[in-house]
Structure 1
């Protein structure tokens, strides 16, 4: 079965799945009435603008957004516009020079771009020429840059990056990056919104920059841009959206640019086809947001201008589960799970994106997520794309297995911080861009804290983090995740730079069950390792709701092997009396290992220093349950349980017991607060299976 599965995957890799037919220039030409276009038209027309003005007057949320924006723009009216472009550093992710560190070029770039955008919108809403005049000053300064691509993504830095799925290794052109895509998207809107308030030369200035820095860099040359076919990478959406919106904004002058509009539609649609059947995205939450968010601007503009003839919101993968991924990654306290490089600092998505997805897909879950998790909007597009009018409702089950990417989340409900959440992942080690070597890994979140954590991308990025060196960093290596090691053998990547793909590297979720009382998952991460030391590993995780976590590891290796079961605490911890005391700001937990074989708990820490002159050195704590195997199969259970005090932890530990009968069935039991708990695993062909 495994051979058949990966043969199918290999075929799909060679010929990416397309869920709908490709469109061409002629299709777009027939769907557009270019002669009827009159600026503004990308996101609203002159007539539709009146509805927005009325919304600002009548809706407190929209009024607050606009009043703040106008106040800021009134300040911009008096702000001098810097005309001298600062020198950009050569190593902006390494901070070797003052030019890398001082941020002056970045302030020039983002400051001029963003102020032009804000002022252009205020001009549209007020009709006051002073805002258009000042917006053009900032836009003119931004257009004066020789490139809108940032140094971190130019040849000297990015050339050695491992290319993602569906991208050939031989890449030498890097003249258009995702920052350029963002700039194209925003300057297309600036051009559209300012058009009525500019004279010919001013229009030509912005139009010329869009042609020079966007159109001529990409049009007809897609085969030389790696992101053009990187359909499982956020860059695909960001870059193609910027290019497509530029084409749409310039249609009245260059109707031939419907060719790049068609390219953007096809390529973004292909990216959306790579969403999982449950809405999962392998890069993680923040990169789901970046790719989907930026693509939504192009999707909205094209949908409007073609009268819904070409509507990316109808993509089946997006329409079926528009917000499943951000909802299930959400944590109480306004944060999100931070697997891979996703960060996890806030909720996944933003209010106007969720507004739009809810409205376009009629998703009650999206409406619920927007209204129950996000406060007032704070962005221009919260006015353009207002809150959905429908009643929202949460998903029926708070736990999920994302089947395509093999991530899983187990919990009692979406909002309570007093109930334990356990989440983890299997899947394939085939995302060298933002993926980590973390198959079989899991985290425990409770009382708004990680008691067992994922260190994520702690420390940020540097110039080597996306090269083969990536997997030497604890942040991306298996050594920095809550997995196991046999004689020090680490997990491997299915792709290294200019090496063939190995599509069999990774693991599976073999079973996932969920109910009101209890959730269970069984993972087999064996093939994530070279298997020179580890013969097989299966990890079982049980969440007895609302708060008891039981982990059972089946590890097959030669007798005498050194086995380490690793955990990264997210709170203060102390190893004592054969268990680990975990103490957070609002609660305590005990981590209690048990096995039929002798074990010890050993604390240690990773030394972390990014290749950056300004980044601090820091330690990352972890501890291992260590065992020297006596037989071919070693079974280790780990209890992770909230406690009131150390005395309760000791009582639980003293009552713990593991029994293995003659048939190989395993029972793990303990007592807590006068109640007895027992977890039974039946030995079947192929390994243990939990019996609930």
Structure 2
């Protein structure tokens, strides 16, 4: 049933604001000359839908995916309408919920033709159109809502009556596109910089503009042109190896919106204007594959969640079909379950290749603004040894003061871990400058990370660290990171080496630091393990019935200690988390700290020791 009050409020709004849409006979610009005239034109045209339906007659995998999406849509039918409810300064959770509903109900409607799905989708559109605004102060919220409403408008265009269609279109202009133009004109930096906000803001507005392009060609062409001008800045961040500087959690968000934007342009305009050729984009699908350890947890950095698991990412289907790389789709098929099936798995459907999975290299260097080196003893072995280490830039968006940080898996357990993000609503959480409030929060500063500290100070907030050397092979694989900028206040030179040793049965972490004047040097590793200190230079870590032995190989006389990582509110508590540390109270001159981390293997036990050589000799 149509919402008569909403239609009435639309009429009042038009009279009070004086805003009217452009006439449909306005001359279109060159960008819109190839615009698909008919709705639906976004993401999944009717011709592609018919091809999928035909394929599903014989493709059992696709048939199961669409059944999963329809089941999700059925659950949406009984959900209450979305309400205007912020969390801190954000409406983002509501925008995301609306987007999920639009995709699920929309695919179900278009696949089955059952009007109950279109009706519920329309109700959701009218509910958010009745919001006072889409929270343009935090424009990510507006962009996601504009995406949702634009797509919904396009997909149920012929289901809606003319009055409802006009209301939704008007709201999309006044609460989505018009605030977008205002932000562009104000020079809103989130639209132009190199991180996920770029893809989300430009992509969301682009999709909304394409939805109403025939009725509002001027504003649509303006927004599409600006998106095309700004998206290359973000896409350049994938170069050269596909790494995303904000970490793997935001890799998924940014890459999904890249896929949204380029797909929408292809379906509505017949071209992505060459954006898919951005260096690094064709190989970025390998980043999550190499970054996941044998435990199933990603090598995490920046504002990632605690123990972020390797989960389904439908954009892998898009990457697979766009770049004709079955590795990405095959990996994604192994992750899809009834719980995480997405409409995007249908829209970007790529069948499994049927090939034996590609044997990836055990070691991988991923270069980019935040470089990572990843080493493992084996693939397809949940007990394998895995270590990842990062370089990069401490001012990377969502970054922490963690240059040189490492994480380590073995025996099915994550031994050395990153705590991840804290609450985004903490005061001045986004104050990145040197001395900013951000760096006083335990999870974001250096003390919680698996890095050295000098004189108890954080790393330089503006420091850049380069992954200077990398080698994969025998007698051991290693990476060396130049950390001097991070510690320039107290040291003339600082380097970290991370290696797999003893036939990949143990990991060696070696720091060489030239200290200016005597000060405390702290070596630390964050862990959930129970730590038992043995001899002065040995610690026994136990977790989930497994054991790892840590040994101080250098300097002579150094010993381990145990400290708590727990914090008081309002910060996250880190309950039960400990720090294995080495404190050198008066480090001076060239100081080498070498720590051997050796799992106690079922066969052969732990590695007792290895020869220590200077990093220059590695």
Shift, 1:428, TM fit: 2.1
* Residue-pair matches, total: 579
Secondary structure (helix, strand or coil) at the match of 2:508 reads strand
Secondary structure of the equivalent of 1:478? coil
Which residue pairs with 1:446 in the alignment?
Answer: 410
Map 1:415-434 to 2 at 5 A.
415-431=380-396, 433-434=397-398
Partners of 2:268 and 2:208 lie apart in 1 by: 14
Question: Is the Cα–Cα contact under 8 Å of residues 558 and 629 in structure 1 kept in the other structure?
Answer: no
Query: Which residue does the alignment assign to 1:287?
Result: 250
Question: Which one of 308, 312, 321 corresponds to residue 359 of structure 1?
Answer: 321
Per-residue CA distance 1:602-651 (angstroms, 9 max, x = gap): 21123424537xx6684642132122457521222211111269x966x9
State the Cα distance separating 1:438 from its structure 2 match: 0.7
Deviations 1:436-457 (A, max 9, x none): 1011221211133221111222
- 8 Å Cα contact 1:464/1:611 also seen in 2: no
Map Cα deviations across residues 165-185 of structure 1 (whole Å, 9 max, x no partner): xxxxxxxxx535222222222
Q: 1:597·1:630 contact (CA, 8 Å) conserved in 2?
A: no
- Confirm or deny that 1:633 pairs with 2:590: yes
CA deviation map 1:379-406 (0-9, x unaligned): 1111111124545753642312223222
Cα deviation code 1:108-141 (max 9, x no counterpart): 7665554344323322112233332232122111
CA contact (8 A) 2:103 2:343 kept: no
What are the within-5 Å matches in structure 2 for residues 167-316 of structure 1? 175-219=137-181, 221-224=183-186, 225-231=188-194, 233-256=195-218, 257-308=220-271, 310-316=273-279
User: Secondary structure of the residue that 1:444 maps to in structure 2?
Assistant: strand
Offset at residue 215 of structure 1 (A): 0.6
Give runs of aligned pairs for residues 14-93 of structure 1, distance below 5 A: 26-30=29-33, 32=34, 34=35, 36-74=36-74, 76-77=76-77, 81=81, 85=83, 88=86, 91=88
CA distance in 2, matches of 1:80, 1:365: 40
Partner of 1:386: 349
Q: Unaligned regions of 5+ residues in structure 2, if any?
A: 1-27
- Asked if the contact 1:364/1:392 (under 8 Å) is kept, the reply is no
CA distance in 2, matches of 1:458, 1:79: 30
Instruction: Summarize deviations over 1:283-329 as a string: whole Å, max 9, x none.
Output: 1001111111012111012123333362422223312x131321221
Q: Is the 8 A contact 2:202 2:227 kept in 1?
A: yes
Structure-2 change in CA distance of 1:76 and 1:214 (3 Å) = same
Q: Does residue 540 of the first structure (1) align with residue 497 of the second (2)?
A: yes
Match of 2:446 in 1: 478
Q: What's the offset of the Cα at 1:371?
A: 3.8
Residue in 2 that maps onto 1:678: 611
Quick one: distance in 2 between partners of 1:265 and 1:42? 17
Aligned-partner Cα distance in 1 for 2:95–2:242: 34
- State how far apart, in whole Å, the 2-side matches of 1:43 and 1:644 are: 50
Distance 2:500 2:373 in 1: 12
2:111 to 115, 118, 125: 125
What is residue 558 of structure 2 aligned with on the other side? 599
Note closer, same or farther for the CA distance 1:313–1:144 as it changes in structure 2 (3 Å cut).
Answer: same
Whole-Å Cα distance in 2 between the matches of residues 216 and 42 of structure 1? Answer: 20
Counterpart Cα distance in 1 of 2:335 and 2:86: 39
Residue 72 of structure 1 deviates from its aligned partner by 4.6
Aligned with residue 399 of structure 2, among 435, 439, 453: 435
Q: Does 1:689 align with 2:612?
A: no
**Counterpart Cα distance in 1 of 2:318 and 2:513:** 47
Find the aligned partners of 2:233 and 2:308 in 1 and give their Cα distance.
Answer: 28
Alignment of 1:366-405 (within 5 A): 366-374=328-336, 378-388=341-351, 390=353, 391=355, 394=358, 396-404=360-368, 405=370
Q: 1:624 aligns with which of 577, 581, 585?
A: 581
* C-alpha distance 212-566 of structure 1, shift in aligned 2 (>3 A): same
CA RMSD between the two structures: 2.9
Matched position secondary structure for 2:156: helix
Q: Which residue in the other structure is 1:11 paired with?
A: none
- Which deviates more from structure 2 when the two are superposed, residues 636-645 or residues 194-203? 636-645
Which range moved further: 71-80 or 585-594? 71-80
CA shift for structure 1 position 481: 1.0
